[in-house]
A and B are shown apart, each in its own frame.
Chain A
Amino acid sequence: MSETPTPAVPEAPGRPARSVDRSKVASFLQDNGVYVALAVLVGYNALFTNFWFTASNLKLQLVLVAPILIVALGMALVIGTEGIDLSVGATMAISASVIGQGLDAGLSVPVIIVGVLLAGMLVGAIAGTLVAFFEVQPIVATLALLVAGRGIAVLMQASTLSVSDPTLLKFGSGSWLGIQAPFWDALVPVIIVAFVVRRTVFGRRIVVIGDNVRASYLSGIPVRRTLLTVYIVSGLLAAWAGLVVTTFTSTNDPSTNGLGYELFAITAVVVGGTALSGGRVRILGTIAGALVMQVLRSTLAFHNFTDAVTQMVTAVIIIVAVLVQRKRARS
């Protein structure tokens, strides 16, 4: 959907045919491995898992994947610039706290939503400023925000509130065309981000910066501004995901909302075939990566495996995903 054109690997002359084939297989797997994995998982479930391949369950999968997908979109952009954003989970928690505080203060729903989004953009702006203007390594800057952000969220609101405002709940618990709201909440940013990455100058800049920062500076690309914007977008999307989770579960718990989401999102992006070394943003791959993780979790749950097993399998999948990518880099 939004892959950047990678230069074709020139085949060495006189190479034996077999190794060419092998490199072709490796390159196919690197580009499409995540789709193959998704197809295999869905196919397996359709054949062997009772009650899995039903319309209601498939819809549920699309709903459950939404928060991770929303966060992963921002993460894909950040990783495209050769950065990383560990602060997204904490931003989701802040989002939950802002909702709680807003409801407590009796603010109207539009005001609360604007507040949530602004809070997310603020966290992103801090990360972006540190990365772009103070040249702090992204992992350090966003790690500090991960630790501090969760603390701020809990300081803002120590206890769990149940959200009962009917208008606000529509964002997570309403439904349209038979599919619950989180799916639509994710679909809108997916379309916007995909368009931005594929069709806009800003999208090209992200990829170019991730490819070579020095060259980007030298060729007059507004590197700092672009980086700042990317982190703000990531914060915005994380705050949106926080809102979706809070209204879907109709409870806001700043101490657990979004916990570990930074790692889920990174996993979705990496499994989706985007290398952490930047220079590439694969939106469709990221969607498939998030779906693979969701379907995997559901498959294991349907077969009565515990969460412990899911975590171990996730670990193996991450390693396999980077192994496949590495083969491509070599060929």
Chain B
Amino acid sequence: MTDSDTGKGLSLDDARGAGVEASLRPTTTGARIAHLLQRDGVGATVVLVLVIIFAASTVDGFGSIGNIRNVLISVSFPAIIAIGMTLVIVTGGIDLSLGSVYALAAILCTKVLDVSKGLGGNAIAGIALALGAALLIGLVQGVLIARVGLPPFIVTLAGLYGVRGLVYFVSNNGNDVYSAPQSGAFYRFGTGTVFTIGYPVVLALILYLLFHVTLSRTSFGLTAYALGGSEDASSLMGLKVRSTKIRLYVISAGLAGVAGILAAAYSQSGTPDLGRGFELNAIAAVVIGGTLLTGGAGSLIGTAAGVLLLGVVSSYINLGTDLPQAAQAVVTGAFVIVVVIVQRYLNRVQRR
């Protein structure tokens, strides 16, 4: 991967590592291993494989098809959110509003279906409204960040509050829980399967492939990396800094919307407390996947490994231990801390 295959000027790896010393060509064996572990989520994948082997060999039923299917389904919704989070973090930004946007999409969707039940339940209208609202929120946040120049942390923090408020506003202060009919297109959309794999999992996979290619093989993706490396330099190079940023925030909110719609279709219900803390878990997955919060480096393969790792650990705690689910939060936090410390160590090894 170091010798990138793009012949033209700016190689992919150069762009990806902009501003990160980790991208320097390694010279010693130790540095080479360190370099490899940080590439494209290799480290997170290695840990993921080890945890799966450990869990499958010590816990009965962990490796069963049924459990694998459960883990994949439960992971697919946060996984889609984590795509958008990765894109935004690559540019050096952050999006704290994603959990709220996820809930809003789910609520809008199910509310439309619930209210129009007598009329046969119009799934298209529900999906369009939910997705439209998500994209609009992304656009407003993107404009405030890229055009007006406000810090992403603050803008999306306001988004976290404001959109959650909207969720409660829409759902009669959280007193209403909406349910979609257990039949029809919307029901099949959430619960259908391809070769016994649920649609949400398939869709998550497709989105990962799509955005992985977008991020690593298109000028839009490379612009995102360049932005995260240095916004000033990107702007001087004539890259479309502002429009790229706005589009990324629209995409990340849109993906959270898709995840919310999917979750609503899967569970056939929308509750106002849905998705609380999802943004934090998404950030944790992104960090575990090796993406730096400083921007300019990272990959969706790492994020996928990070999300899966958190899902596998959660399943292990459920099946293999007597610990309550709260233990999962402790493990997640510990993972994040270990990953960032190991990353720092790996960076040091490479610098030598």
Q: Is B287 an interface residue (CB 8 A)?
A: yes
Let me know if B329 and A306 touch, CB within 8 A: no
Which of A147-155, A213-221, A245-253 binds B? A147-155
From B144, B165, B328, B341, give the contact of A134 (CB < 8 A).
Answer: B341
B284 touches A312 (CB 8 A): no
Q: Which residues of B contact A145 (CB under 8 A)?
A: 333
Interface of A is mostly: helix
Residue in A146, A308, A315 whose CB lies within 8 Å of B168: A308
CB-contact partner of B162 in A141, A147, A270, A311, under 8 A: A311
Question: Beyond A134-B341, A137-B293, is A148–B150 a contact (Cβ under 8 Å)?
Answer: no
Tell me which of A137, A147, A155, A323 contacts B148 (CB under 8 A). A323
Contact B344 A267 (CB under 8 A): no
Within 8 A of A (CB), among B154-168: 154-155, 157-168
- Let me know if B344 and A312 touch, CB within 8 A: no
Interface 1/0 per residue, A150-190 and B, CB below 8 Å: 11101100100000000000000000000000000000000
Give every chain B residue within 8 A of A158 (Cβ-Cβ): 324, 326
| A140-B287, A306-B173 as given contacts; A267 in contact with B150, CB under 8 Å | no
Q: Is A197 engaged at the interface, CB distance under 8 Å to the other chain? A: no
We find that the number of chain B residues with CB closer than 8 angstroms to chain A is 46
Q: A137-B293, A314-B162 are in contact. Are A143 and B327 (CB under 8 A)?
A: no
Q: Chain A nearest CB: distance from B247 CB in Å?
A: 21
Q: Which of B300-352 contact A (CB under 8 A)?
A: 323-324, 326-330, 332-334, 336-337, 340-341, 344
B294 to chain A, nearest CB (A): 7
Q: Which residue of B lies closest to A311 (CB)?
A: B165
Q: Which of B284, B287, B337 has the most CB of A within 10 A?
A: B337
Knowing A134-B340, A154-B326, A311-B161, the reply to whether A322 touches B154 (Cβ < 8 A) is yes
Which single residue of chain A is at the shortest CB-CB distance from B169?
A: A308
> A150: which B residues are within 8 A, CB to CB?
326, 329
A312 in contact with B169 given A136-B344, A141-B340, A151-B333 (CB within 8 Å): yes
Complex contact B157–A267 (CB within 8 A): yes
CB of A315 within 8 A of CB of B280, answer no
Residues 263 to 277 of chain A near chain B (Cβ within 8 Å): 263, 266-267, 270, 276
Is A191's beta carbon under 8 Å from chain B?
no
CA distance A148 to B332 in the complex (A): 7
In-complex Cβ contact of A307 among B168, B280, B287, B329 (8 A): B168
How far does the alpha carbon of A145 sit from the alpha carbon of B167 in the complex, in Å?
A: 28
Which of B155, B329, B340 is close to A147, meaning CB atoms less than 8 Å apart? B329
The answer for the CA separation of A306 and B169 in the assembled complex, in Å, is 8
Q: B-contacting residues of A (Cβ < 8 Å)?
A: 84, 130, 134-137, 139-141, 143-152, 154-155, 158, 263, 266-267, 270, 276, 306-316, 318-319, 322-323, 326
Task: Identify 5 residue pairs between A and B in the complex whose beta-carbon atoms are under 8 Å apart, listed by A's number.
Answer: A144-B340, A154-B326, A311-B164, A319-B155, A326-B149
